[in-house]
Amino acid sequence: MADLLNALAVAGKSALGFQAIFFALLAIGINVQFGYAGLLNFGQIAFAMLGGFGIAISVSKWGIPFWAGVLVGLAAAVVLALLLGLPTLRLRADYLAIATIATAEGLRLLFRSVSATPVTNGTRGLSGFNGDFIALAPWNTSQRYSILGTSWSGGELWVAAIGWLLVILGSLLVFLLMRSPWGRVLKSIREDEDAVRSLGKNVYVYKMQALVLGGVFGALGGMVYAVGTGSAVPDQYQNANTFLAYAALILGGAARVLGPVIGAMILLFILQFADTGLRLLISNGVIPEDLLSSTDVAQIRFILVGVGLMLLLIFRPQGIFGDRREVMLDAR
Amino acid sequence: MTHAVHRAGRHGRRPGQPWPLQRPPGRGRPPGGHRVVVRLLLVLAFGLGLAAFSPGVAHAETAGEQLSGTVQTSRSGPIEDVQIEVAAADGTEIESVETDEDGRWTVELPGPGEYTVTLDEGDLPDGVELSNTNTRTVTVDEGRRQAVIIGLEDGSRGAGGGGVRAVQLLVDGIRFGLLIAMAAVGLSLIFGTTGLTNFAHGELVTIGAVAAWYINVSGGVNLIVATVLAMVVGAAVGALNELALWRPLRRRGTGLIAALVVSIGLSLLLRYLIQVVYGGRSSPYQGFQGGRAVDYGIFTMTNADLVSVIISVVVLVLVALMLQRTKIGKAMRAVSDNRDLAASSGIDVNRVILVVWMMGGALAALGGVLLGLSDQVQWDMGFRLLLLMFAGVTLGGLGTAYGALVGSLIVGVFVQMSTLVIPNDVKYVGGLLLLIVILVIRPQGILGSRARIG
């Protein structure tokens, strides 16, 4: 019983920790793009990588202040969104999907390559860039704090606090934007692009704005992740993470302001619980080690997400809170 | 052991990892026959949420830190008896081991920290050289089992200068392009006939390669027979895809975007399932690794590569002939061109789509085997190829079979030739960049029609 409680506590911690914030911010960005505007950005992780490495490279390599690094990361994300949007936003939805997923994989390969080592430190990545940020914490960061049976370091708490503040502000921004005329145009683009065009709106510009805004959220997510782990390694930004964020969004409900946030928390809770639970079963001998070794457990989360995505899309595309009529399912 | 697939089909479950048809008792290579199936079922059962958590008394295990690696090159295969020395950051030696018959080595570490791994150069066979230094310093986190790679050169990359190197790369590029084309024909035809952008197509490639690996290496079957069996497995998985998943979804009226996300879910599921079952390693096939490069004057080529080119050309010509001459081929092009018109002229659209899936699965499997032959078998080889397949298919024109051929060939040549100017490890980035450039200049592709893109 104590083990079960412990697994629940660990899962609860991860549902509130910086990883949940990471996926929540990624999913908020995808919500603006996919949920409201109907754009299929399958390369959200690339924006996160630019955000994370924006800070890491600025601080560790160029030696400029942390906050300037934040600006560098955001600017890089905006540039990437413009570069991706320019050729693909006039085309059908799946072209953007292919271009973004290709870019995300390409950027990761580029960042981890030998030739990029002077800047990104290759596969080993960069670390030691979050000192300025952690130092701002109003409490002692070298001490550990115990909250509801889980142990947090002061730094973790500080990252989580600022991260959730970002999530709240982001959700508020999305809420206000989607009530504004701009948001209504965006939603009508999702429903019927030609109708919006016939009303004299420049659909292309609106889509581009949505892509940039979503990308900025992605970059913020990547920054929280990089600061939370204290390192930026290209292989942390695997393509599959984009789809974890999609799973979070669709689980919570697309085109709902709080859908991505709640989805991310639930998803992280389930994944961490499965992870801890499986490891526990293996170490207890319930599952023999040669059937499923503890190194394999890390892959289980992606298998779960794969199954979850399929089942959700087939049986409940609106997720927990969504409205089926509002979920963009058909390509034009 | 095909019943695993069939059973999954009857219950309408997702297509899982295909199994070799017959597997003589394993020769101690992990993971062996039954265990794999049980393991797969266990993972599946868990994936379906059937696992129950029973509270126990034992405490959580803390895994020890470990360093491991494999010493091998694509030409020489695994290299045995190479001495590997692991030392702590302060220079004290932890352990010194020799690689086993699979070229593998493992060292248990006393704890997390920085370690230096040194490979004894003198133990390397003739023709194999170090690409950089013989040492590597790694930082091991708590509980991590870290893999260490020490780069080796076996001279398979053309070392000649200028024009000769370009010819060598062109030949390599054509081989690679033909391989992409073979895998991409199915992708393009599936898109043409159903409108589905199948992100799980790369996994068909991996499944083919891994199935052939199990038959060839664990089963000890000749690689040619194993390839044919892998193609049968590929066709079966393709058919299962269509029958168990996509046809019911079309019947439900699932939208294209929803279907696209479902295919991504399927891709994640299969890819990581393969990683759990097959593992994160990369291993070569048996019997073909020793091939020496044969000199053809201006370029060199191993016999395995030559066979790969010949097989690709023959198969692609057969596919083209089938599309052009046979009834089913014409029906495929008709459905691809205009589905409703095809249906109203009496073509059984669902049957055509099923054949397209089976053909796509078999071709992808064959492509996977050929890729495994040149680059070894890895769990994510298909996904990496998928992006180049997309580039090729987009370049040629989404939905057209011949476009996929032309586009893939161009992408393959472009990727290989680009190493003239960019480093080898970023060559895929060039291919992906090409994709974006195509989208700017001519989004409908070389052979595509304008109407499809809007």
Among the listed residues A156, A217, A281, A282, the one whose alpha carbon sits nearest the alpha carbon of residue A34: A217
Among the listed residues A51, A49, A34, the one whose alpha carbon sits nearest the alpha carbon of residue A246: A34
- Work out whether the CA dihedral A221, A222, A225, A226 comes out positive or negative: negative
Task: Average the pLDDT over A16-40 and give the result.
Answer: 93
Cβ neighbours of A125 in B, within 8 Å = none
Type of residue at A62: W
Q: Quick check: A274 pLDDT over 50? A: yes
Q: How far apart are CA B446 and CA B402, in angstroms?
A: 10
Which one is the CATH code of B162-289+298-452: 1.20.80, 1.25.40, 1.10.12, 1.10.3470? Answer: 1.10.3470
φ/ψ region of A292 (left if φ > 0, alpha if ψ in -120 to 50, else beta) reads beta
* Residue, of A322 and A41, whose pLDDT is higher: A41
Inter-chain CB proximity B426 and A113 less than 8 Å: yes
Residues facing residue A314 across a β-bridge: none
Q: How far apart are CA A322 and CA B134, in angstroms?
A: 56
Residues facing residue B114 across a β-bridge: B139
Beta-carbon-side half-sphere exposure of residue B157 (alpha carbons within 13 Å): 14
Option in B63, B275, B454 nearest A299 (CB): B275
Q: How far apart are CA A124 and CA A56, in angstroms?
A: 13
The alpha carbon of residue B266 is apart from the nearest alpha carbon of chain A, in Å, by 6
Q: How far apart are CA B5 and CA B380, in angstroms?
A: 21
What are the C-alpha distances in Å from B191 to residues A306, B37, B185?
Answer: 21, 32, 10
Three-state SS for A125? coil
The tokens describing B394, both together, are: 């987009």
Q: How far apart are CA A76 and CA A236, in angstroms?
A: 19
* Residue, of B118 and A309, whose pLDDT is higher: A309
Type of residue at B307: V
Option in B39, B43, B439 nearest A88 (CB): B439
The values of phi and psi at residue B293, to 5°, are -70, 135
* Mean pLDDT of all residues belonging to chain A: 88
Which one is the CATH code of A2-117+130-326: 1.10.3470, 1.10.150, 1.50.40, 2.40.50? Answer: 1.10.3470
For residue B262, what pLDDT is reported? 92
Task: Report yes or no: A32 and A214 within 8 Å, Cβ to Cβ.
Answer: yes
Asked if omega into B31 is within 30° of 0 (cis), the reply is yes
Q: How far apart are CA B380 and CA A313, in angstroms?
A: 24
Q: Is B423 on the interface with A (CB under 8 A)?
A: yes
Q: Is A79 on the interface with B (CB under 8 A)?
A: no
Q: How far apart are CA A88 and CA B80, in angstroms?
A: 51
For chain A, the farthest-separated pair of C-alpha atoms sits apart, in whole angstroms, at 66
Type of residue at B344: S
Each residue's pLDDT expressed in tens, for chain B with a length of 454 residues: 333 333 333 333 333 333 333 333 333 344 444 555 555 444 444 443 333 333 333 333 345 677 877 777 655 667 777 888 887 766 677 778 878 777 778 887 777 777 778 787 777 776 676 766 677 777 776 666 777 777 776 655 444 445 577 888 898 899 999 999 999 988 988 988 888 889 999 999 999 999 999 999 888 888 889 999 999 999 999 999 999 999 999 888 888 888 888 999 999 999 999 998 888 888 888 876 556 677 777 777 777 888 889 999 999 999 999 989 999 999 998 998 888 899 999 999 999 999 999 999 999 999 999 999 888 898 889 988 998 898 888 888 877 778 888 889 999 999 988 888 888 888 888 888 888 788 777 777 777 665 544 4
For residue B155, what pLDDT is reported? 55
The values of phi and psi at residue B34, to 5°, are -65, -40
Contact residues, A window 265-304, toward B, CB-based 8 Å cutoff: 274, 277-287, 290-292, 294-296, 299-300, 302-304
pTM value is 0.76
Domain ranges for chain A: 2-117+130-326
Task: Report yes or no: A111 and A53 within 8 Å, Cβ to Cβ.
Answer: yes
In sequence order, which residues have a C-beta less than 8 Å from that of residue B260 and are 6 or more positions away? A40, A94, A97, A331, B196, B197, B199
Inter-chain CB proximity A310 and B387 less than 8 Å: no
Q: How far apart are CA B245 and CA B268, in angstroms?
A: 15
**Residue A164 — pLDDT band, cuts 50, 70, 90?**
very high
For residue B291, what pLDDT is reported? 60
Identify the residue whose tokens are 């292989």: A235
Task: Report yes or no: B209 and B381 within 8 Å, Cβ to Cβ.
Answer: yes
For residue A260, what pLDDT is reported? 93
Inter-chain CB proximity A4 and B443 less than 8 Å: no
For residue B39, what pLDDT is reported? 53
Q: How far apart are CA B201 and CA B263, in angstroms?
A: 9
Q: How far apart are CA A189 and CA A250, in angstroms?
A: 20
Tell me how long chain A is. 332
Q: Quick check: A211 pLDDT over 50? A: yes
Nearest chain B residue (CA) to A110 = B426
- The alpha-helical segments, DSSP class H, found in B326-348 are 327-337, 339-344
- Does domain B66-153 sit in CATH 3.30.565.10? no
DSSP at B283: B
Q: How far apart are CA A143 and CA A128, in angstroms?
A: 19
Domain ranges for chain B: 66-153, 162-289+298-452
Tell me how long chain B is. 454
Q: Is B269 on the interface with A (CB under 8 A)?
A: yes
Task: Report yes or no: B104 and B70 within 8 Å, Cβ to Cβ.
Answer: yes
The alpha carbon of residue B325 is apart from the nearest alpha carbon of chain A, in Å, by 32
Inter-chain CB proximity A331 and B195 less than 8 Å: yes
For residue B454, what pLDDT is reported? 44
Q: How far apart are CA A115 and CA A44, in angstroms?
A: 24
Identify the residue whose tokens are 């680009």: B418
DSSP H/E element including B83: strand B83-88
Q: Is B52 on the interface with A (CB under 8 A)?
A: no
